[in-house]
Structure 1
Amino acid sequence: MNDVNGMSDEPIYLAGGESILEVAARVDRSYWYSGASVASQAKGVANAVAPLVLEASDVDKGFHMALRTPLADWLTEKFSHGVAKVTQADIDMAVAKCNASIPPIETVREAAETEGVIRVGTKHYWAQGLLSYMGERQFLASRNREITEALTYMLDRTTHLDKRVADRTKQITDTLASWAARRGYRPARELSVPVITPGSTYFGRHDLVIFRKPAPSIVIEIDSQPNERSVPKLDFAYKSGAIPMWIRWNKGDAEDPNTGVTVIDFCDVPADV
């Protein structure tokens, strides 16, 4: 059991009965006669140990992808003093570092009220969604007919319907981001969101978030065909106080998500150029 500082008196054992320290030592030994440099050996140990440290920490599994690279970099530096030098204190410190990687709710709240974005590891998160995930309830936003009509009108008359455009999803995103910027809003693309979508073990991303403080943010998913992974992200956005919109183009049919999500369909657009 870890104490409040994340340190432990006993080795942390994995499901197979092998401790993380034993794994580190075994990987060290595999390099002894390889001729690899100390830096390469340290990197090999770090890459073997990093996912095990994350599994042993209290960090939600959805954050593991964001924390894996910075943790491995830190471990590489820590272990680079030579082979067979990894100690239990090193492992305990790494676990503690993982547990301290998630920002406190006060920091997330401040980010939600200011920039709207907060970094966790290598990923930028929608701060309001992370705040909701951490247990702080948000006021539900009402559907906004004016926004829906404005976006539908604009998208229906822009070049994203041009068959010559190779990446129409990107063009729709660019069009929406420009629309937001012209109105003094702040668009942000590809923000991570604390929702594990079907078929994944890590958190997903929103295609576009438009910050409109003090008005509710607009969270947008853009799909060229029905995508079941968009539905839980949009439902989460609604429960987190945003106006969620699902823009679908190209082809296909899908069941609409829950009540709070607005769907704009352009599914009669041919798929082939």
Structure 2
Amino acid sequence: MVQERNGGLTPQKATPMVRVTVWWRCPAGHQWEESISTRTAPAKWKNGDVAACHECVGYRVPDSYPGCGHTVMVTSEAASKKPTRCWKCQQAWWQDNGERLKAELSAAAKGAAGRAAALLDAVPVPQDVPVPLVDEWRWWAAKQVQGAIATEEVMDKDGECGLVLERIARAAARLLPTWEMAARAAEVDGVLKLVDQAHWAEGRIHQLTGRGPRPAAAEDVENIGFVLDAVLAGWSQSAARAVAEKPGAWWPCPTTAEITRSLTRAVVSMTDHEVFAPIASYVRTYRELRLPVVLDGKGRYGRLDVVIWIPHGPDIVVEIDSAPSAASAGKLAFARDVGALPLWVRFGSGGIQEIDEVTVLDVREAVRSVRAAAS
């Protein structure tokens, strides 16, 4: 430690538990600021010497920035990127120019849609990947390429588009499982969950394996609906108390987004109910799970708000909406058709739409009481 620069703090008083940043000096005379806990940690770059100096071992090197004129110590990897400004100056520059650049980048990206599509046409995609999955990949890839083109035009980052296309080509090469591979994974992992990008295949599991969808028994529907109804009733009471006791946290009243997030947490907590206790360690919960429902005029798959996978039972699919939604109706119908147990939690404005074999939980009055407590 550099005792003369650290006030009254001495090595004898300093321990890793002292959460302060202090000055250090190595035998070669290099000085720098670093916390005690970080300094005494056996990081990989120290090569076993906990007292190693990051400059002596070449982990950090001095780098000069022509845009601001500063010279600072950075990692060799950061120095190789050759930015024009140091990190602090770049943050200040972004703060001054961020809104303008976002608008310019957005406009440039929209104008690059045609060029992005042409570049993607040249990216090889495995022949045995199903069309719906290729469509999903192209939607993601187009956004990446459009952004790269805009970055080159607006921010003068030459070569950005080439780097993005390389990454996209690598993703396309390992794109995704064939129908048969996805079906085998679906058979093991359940009707609405398998290896990350392959959720689309689960809707066709019965076509691929000859195994029909698992029907949701009336008793299961009744029991799960009862549990979730009880959970949401408890949520409305506790939320109303919370906003009444601490109105500032929800002031002037809970927004639709806040209500949606709060309801989602309540739905996820359903698996803590005693009904699930015997299988709690096996239950898996997923949020924003993708599935292959592309409505007319849309360019990508839908996502389910909450999916609860239960071994040897129907998956529970929950959509949470503040208003009637054709997209949610389509996703829930898809979940129903592949043997899941679909539940629709509705709050906010609009009427309640009835869907065959989809349980609708109306919490509009409960949400109104929560908002009333905040007003």
- TM bin, normalised by shorter chain, reads 0.5 to 0.7
- The answer (yes or no) to whether the contact 2:260–2:321 under 8 Å persists in 1 is yes
- Structure 1 gap segments, 5+ residues each: 1-43, 81-93
Equivalent AA in structure 2 for residue 206 of structure 1: L
- Aligned residues between the structures: 213
Counterpart Cα distance in 2 of 1:212 and 1:126: 19
Shift of 1:105: 3.0
Shift of 1:142: 2.9
2:225 counterpart of 1:148: yes
Counterpart Cα distance in 1 of 2:285 and 2:206: 20
Partner of 1:248: 346
- The answer (yes or no) to whether the contact 1:133–1:194 under 8 Å persists in 2 is no
- Counting aligned pairs with the same residue, the percent is 25
Equivalent AA in structure 2 for residue 225 of structure 1: A
Partner of 1:231: 329
Taking a change above 3 Å as real, the CA distance of residues 97 and 151 of structure 1, as seen in their structure-2 partners, is closer
Taking a change above 3 Å as real, the CA distance of residues 233 and 158 of structure 1, as seen in their structure-2 partners, is same
Taking a change above 3 Å as real, the CA distance of residues 59 and 256 of structure 1, as seen in their structure-2 partners, is same
- The answer (yes or no) to whether the contact 1:220–1:247 under 8 Å persists in 2 is yes
Partner of 1:261: 358
Which of 150, 159, 162 pairs up with 1:76? 162
Counterpart Cα distance in 2 of 1:253 and 1:133: 36
Equivalent AA in structure 1 for residue 189 of structure 2: T
Taking a change above 3 Å as real, the CA distance of residues 168 and 64 of structure 1, as seen in their structure-2 partners, is same
- TM-score, length basis structure 2: 0.47
2:157 counterpart of 1:59: no
TM alignment of 1:9-28, pairs within 5 A: none
Shift of 1:101: 2.2
More displaced stretch, 259-268 vs 156-165: 156-165
Counterpart Cα distance in 2 of 1:195 and 1:135: 21
Counterpart Cα distance in 2 of 1:53 and 1:142: 49
* Structure 1 residue ranges (4+ consecutive) displaced by more than 4 angstroms after TM superposition: 53-58, 69-73, 77-80, 96-100, 132-137
Q: Which has the higher helix share?
A: 2
Counterpart Cα distance in 2 of 1:198 and 1:220: 22
- Structure 2 gap segments, 5+ residues each: 1-111, 149-160, 244-249
Partner of 2:196: 119
Q: Which has the higher strand share?
A: 1
Structure label with greater radius of gyration: 2
2:313 counterpart of 1:215: yes
- The answer (yes or no) to whether the contact 2:117–2:142 under 8 Å persists in 1 is no
**Partner SS state of residue 68, structure 1:** helix
Counterpart Cα distance in 2 of 1:168 and 1:148: 20
Which of 203, 207, 229 pairs up with 2:301? 203
Structure with the larger RCO, 1 or 2 (CA within 8 Å, 6+ apart): 1
Counterpart Cα distance in 2 of 1:142 and 1:49: 50
